[in-house]
Every structure is written in structure tokens, then in C-alpha cells.
Amino acid sequence: MGTVRAMRSLKVIEQWPVDNAAAAVVRADGTLLGSHGPVDRVFELASVTKPLVAYATLVAVEEGAVEWDLPAGPRGATVRHLIAHTSGLDFDGTNVVAAPGSRRIYSNGGFAALAAAVQQATDIPFPRYLHDAVFAPLGMTASKLVGPAGSGAVSTVNDLVRFAAEVQAPTLIDPATLAEATTVAYPGLDGVLPGFGTLRPNDWGLGFELRGHKSPHWTGANSSPRTFGHFGGSGTFLWVDPVAGLACVALTDRPFDDWAVQVWPPFTDGVLAEALGG
């Protein structure tokens, strides 16, 4: 990736109330605009696992192993419902609390069912499928799924910038598939964005949370509405801003709480301002 310049905006992570933090900014062509902190340190990703699991699912769909309308999860739900958090499953279990497609209910249990469906369709243990479909071809050598499919991956900033470049200029899937995954699935559904309350609507794509015009939000006030990505309960995030033409990864070892709500948005605005020359 060549020489990495220092970005003043990334050094702000030194002021975050965490023990360890690392961050980087990357363009679609893999150009690393800057990095800071222990970028080879392995962190728990928590829900930043979900975009990785979703991407493996996109690969499985393109391979023809899985179909979006394949029944999966609770009665009446499909793979598409599960990946878009509209299956009706509750936040962290197997209880059905709504009809499929009727509400946006963020669900770790839904991603467990999603991974199970991919595993059954491919006859490959899902952690191995994720490795073979995403981690290995992208050279993400430190990344592993060691726990639940909704929250159990570990990785490094250096690995995740490879993924962040991929989801700006896909090589493992067709660009049209990525475009569908980053477009609202089941439009108009309200729901809770964990840590930020009920949003109307709570737009989501196929595994990627979509910024749109949500307020409050974990990205910046100057993030474009087309921004997509995910944050995790372990104090981690990955966002891609297609209008700005760049992506940012930040990993920490402090659980998400009010500290993140306070520091992440201005951090993102600082990154955007510096990267775009503002």
C-alpha cells in the first residue's frame, strides 16, 4: 500500500477513554491515507462481525449455493429477511416477536440463523466458509470467526482496511450485488438502532447499516446519506462513504457506551475534513 502518511485527525484516538485503539483510512484502490495505533493488534469486533458474515452470504448467493428466498429462521422468513433484520426474531435469541418483513428488529439471533442457513446450503462449516470466501482471498490473515455469527469475529485494523477497500470496489462479488446490499431492503420500517434509540425509518441494507438521514447517528454530521457500515458493542466501527471515496476503521477494547456516542461523530467529521482537504 506504499508509504502511509500521518493523519492528524486519526491521532485523536489517543484522547479516547480506552486502553487501546487503532484506526485507519483507506480508499477504494487500497491506498492507505493514514493509520494510527496498533494496527496489527487483534481486537474483538462484536457486531462489526455482521458485515463480514453478510459478505460471505453475498458470495454464497452469487455462487448459487443460497437463494434470497430460501426459507430460513422463523416460519415465513427467508435468508433476505434474516440479513436485513426483518425476520421477526428478537434481539438476542430465538423468540419471534413480529411477522417477517413487518418490523426492523436488530437481531443477533437472526445472524446465527443466517449462518446456519449458509452452512446447511453449502455443507461447509460457516467459520470455514467465511474464511475461504472472504478472509483468504482478501489476505485477512489475522481474522477469524471464533464465536457467534452476529458478534464473534476477531480482526485487526490492517485486515479490515482490506475489507473496507473491497466493499468500495468489489472483486469477490459483482458490483451490482454490492449495490443491492447497500440499498434499503424493506423500505419504511422503523426500528431501534442499539445505543441510539428508535429511528423512523431505521434503514438497513443486506447486512450493512445505512446512514441515510438518521439522527442521532454514530457517523459524522458531514457523512453523506450514502454512508454504510456497522459499529460493534466492543467499541469498534467500520464506515464507507462512497461520496467521499474513502472508508474508515476504528477498533478499541472498551465496550460501546456514551463515550463512543460522544467521540465518534466528531472524529468522523475530522477524518472527512482532512481527507477531503477541508
Domain boundary assignment for the chain: 8-275
Q: pTM, whole model, 2 decimals?
A: 0.97
pLDDT tens, residue by residue, 19-68: 999 999 999 999 999 999 999 999 999 999 999 999 999 999 999 999 99
User: Residue 4's pLDDT is what?
Assistant: 52
Checking if the pLDDT of 3 tops 90, the result is no
How would residue 5 be classed by pLDDT, with cut points 50, 70 and 90?
A: low
Residues 6+ apart with CB under 8 A from 272: 220, 222, 223, 241, 244, 278
In angstroms, what CA-CA distances link 133 with 28, 35, 78, 164? 20, 26, 22, 16
Checking if the pLDDT of 258 tops 60, the result is yes
Q: Does domain 8-275 have CATH number 2.40.50.140?
A: no
pLDDT tens, residue by residue, 80-130: 999 999 999 999 989 999 999 999 999 999 999 999 999 999 999 999 999
pLDDT > 90 in the chain, percent: 96
Q: Which residues of 127-147 are buried (b: 16+ CB within 10 A; e: fewer)?
A: bebbbebbbeebebebbbbee
pLDDT tens, residue by residue, 198-253: 999 999 999 999 999 999 999 999 999 999 999 999 999 999 999 999 999 999 99
